Amino acid sequence: MARKERTEEIVTIDAIGFEGISIARDDEGVIFVKGGIPGDKLEVEVTHKRKKHREATIKKILEPSIHRIIPRCDYFGVCGGCSWQQLEYSEQVRWKAQHVKDSFERLHKLEVQRYDTPIGSKAQYEYRNKMEFSFGSSRWLTEEEILKDEKIEDKNYALGLHIPGRFDKVLPIEQCHLQTEISNKVLRAVDSQCRKLKLSARNSRQGEGFLRNLILRKSQTTEDYFIIVLTSPVTNEDEESFVEWIFTEFASTFFNEHTTIAHAVNETRSGVAFGEIIRQIGSGSLKETISGFTYEISPFSFFQNNPKQFEVLLDVVHSYGNFKPEEIAWDLYCGTGLITLPVAKNVSNVVGIELSEESIVKAKRNAQNHSVKNAEFYAMNLHSKQALAHLESQAKPTVAVIDPPRAGSHPDLISYLNSSGIERIIYVSCNPTTQARDCAMLNNYQIEALTAIDLFPQTYHIESVALLTKRND
C-alpha cells in the first residue's frame, strides 16, 4: 500500500521513460515526475512513496530545459490526450526512438543489427482524420474553478473529451489542435446549440440522457467530411428541434458536395460511440488514398488516424520486405488489407488473416475494387489451433508481415513462426515492449533492422517496424 506522505524536493529531470513519465534520481532512488522535460530543474511535491520509486508532481519550474516549449493547447495537462506538447518535436521523436531501443536492448537483451533513422511526422498538428467527442452530465472542474469557489452553472453538461481514467467525467473542449479548424468550428456550433436548448447530456453511470457523441471524420487525401451526431432516441420537442436544426441552419453553414451530415441513434446503455443512422444528407461516403489504393470508410469503422504517415510506414515495410514477383507472402492481423493490397502488387500471392469478419469483408471488397486478384482473405482467430492448422495447410511463404494489437501476438503463433522456416518476418507494432518480447521468442531469427515511425505527434505513442531474417547457423 502506497504511503501518502507529501514532501517537497528539488530535482533535475534526466530522462523520459516509456509512456511519457519523466525520471529524476537522487540519493534515495528514482522519482517519477509527470510533465517534466529532460534538463528541467524542478521543485516537486512527492505524493506517493512506493517500494522501488516515488511519484511527484511539479510545483515550480526553477530552470526550464532548453527543449521545453510553450504548449499550444489551452487544455494541456488536463485533457491528457497530448502529453508531450511541452517538448520540442525533434526531441519527441528522439525519445520515442530511445524507448524502442530500450525495449529491445535493456528489457529483453536483444541484439539489433541496425537501427535506422527514426521517422517523424511532417504534420505535427491537424493530422488526425477522426475525432470522437463525448457529451457528459458530469463536467470536469479544473483546479482553478474549484479554487474560485464560485457557482458553476453548467456542471451537469459538457461536450469534450473524457478525463484519463474517468469514464464519467468530461472536460469541455472548444478547440483541439489535432483536428482541422473547420472541425473546431463544427464542435463549437453544436455545443452552442445544445446549451441554448438545454438538452440533457448522457449520464454514463445511469445510462440516461439524450446527447451522446459528436464524431468528426475528415479525409486527409480528399475533401470528404463526415459529421455524425449520436443521440438516444428523440423523446420531446426540444430534442426534435435540435435534430431539425442539424439539417437546416447547421447544414446551411457546413454542408457542401463533399460533406455528409448524419444523425445516428443508440438505444442501448452502452457508452460505445456507435449507432444506427436515422437521417443523413450527403453521399455517406468518405475515402482515403494510401499508396495508390483508395479505401471507403464507413461512419463508425476503424481506420488509421494518420493516413499520410501510415503511407510512410508502408514504405518501410516494403523496403524491409524486399518483396519479389515469384514470392508468396502472409499478412497476419491484416485488418481491412491496408498492408496486404500494396504487398500484393509485388508478389505472386498474399494471404491475409484477421479475427474480425467485418474487416475481412471490407478487405475482400477493397481487393475487388482495385482488381487485386492475388490476395486471399480469411476470418480466423490467429491465436487458435484452427488458424495454425490453416497456416500449416497453406503454401509456405518466403516472407510474412505481422501487425498484432498492442498486447502483441500469442505465444503459440510466435512459436509456429519461429519454426516455420520463413525467410523474412516484418513485425509492425504500436507497442515496442510487446514487440521486443515476441522478437525474443523468435530466436531462430536475427533482428536485422529496426525503425521507429511517429504516427502520433504530441503523444508518447510510437510505431516500430522490425525486420527479422532466418539464422543460417
Please count the other Cβ atoms lying within 10 Å of the Cβ belonging to residue 389.
10
pLDDT at residue 6 is higher than 50: yes
Q: Is 347 helix (H, G, I), strand (E, B) or coil?
A: coil
Q: Which residue has the higher pLDDT, 205 or 10?
A: 10
pLDDT at residue 324 is higher than 60: yes
Q: Which residue has the higher pLDDT, 287 or 152?
A: 287
pLDDT at residue 319 is higher than 50: yes
Q: 365 is written with which cell numbers? A: 471488397
C-alpha to C-alpha distance for 29 and 53, rounded to whole angstroms = 7
Q: What per-residue confidence (pLDDT) applies to 2? A: 46
Q: What per-residue confidence (pLDDT) applies to 5? A: 58
Q: What per-residue confidence (pLDDT) applies to 155? A: 82
Out of 82, 194, 334, 430, the active site residue is 430
Q: What per-residue confidence (pLDDT) applies to 301? A: 85
Model confidence, pTM: 0.91
pLDDT at residue 351 is higher than 60: yes
Q: What per-residue confidence (pLDDT) applies to 154? A: 75
Q: Is 291 helix (H, G, I), strand (E, B) or coil?
A: coil
pLDDT at residue 151 is higher than 80: no
What's the pLDDT band for 1 if we cut at 50, 70, 90? very low
Q: How many helices (H) and strands (E) does the chain have?
A: 11, 21
| pLDDT digit string, tens, across residues 168-224 | 889 999 999 999 999 999 999 999 999 999 999 999 888 889 999 999 999 998 999
> How large is the C-alpha radius of gyration of the chain?
24
| pLDDT digit string, tens, across residues 56-89 | 999 999 999 999 999 999 999 888 789 899 999 9
Q: What percent of the chain has pLDDT over 70?
A: 97
Q: What per-residue confidence (pLDDT) applies to 192? A: 97
| pLDDT digit string, tens, across residues 261-282 | 999 999 988 888 899 999 999 9
Please count the other Cβ atoms lying within 10 Å of the Cβ belonging to residue 199.
19
Whether 430 is catalytic is yes
pLDDT at residue 385 is higher than 70: yes
What mean pLDDT is reported for the chain? 93
All domains in the chain, ordered by first residue: 7-68 (2.40.50.140), 91-123+305-470 (3.40.50.150), 130-290 (2.40.50.1070)
Q: What per-residue confidence (pLDDT) applies to 472? A: 85
Residues written for the chain: 473
| pLDDT digit string, tens, across residues 445-460 | 999 999 999 999 999 9
Half-sphere exposure of 273 (CA within 13 A, CB side): 24
- Mutual angle of helices 181-197 and 237-245, in 10-degree steps: 160
- Mutual angle of helices 385-393 and 411-418, in 10-degree steps: 20
Q: What per-residue confidence (pLDDT) applies to 144? A: 73
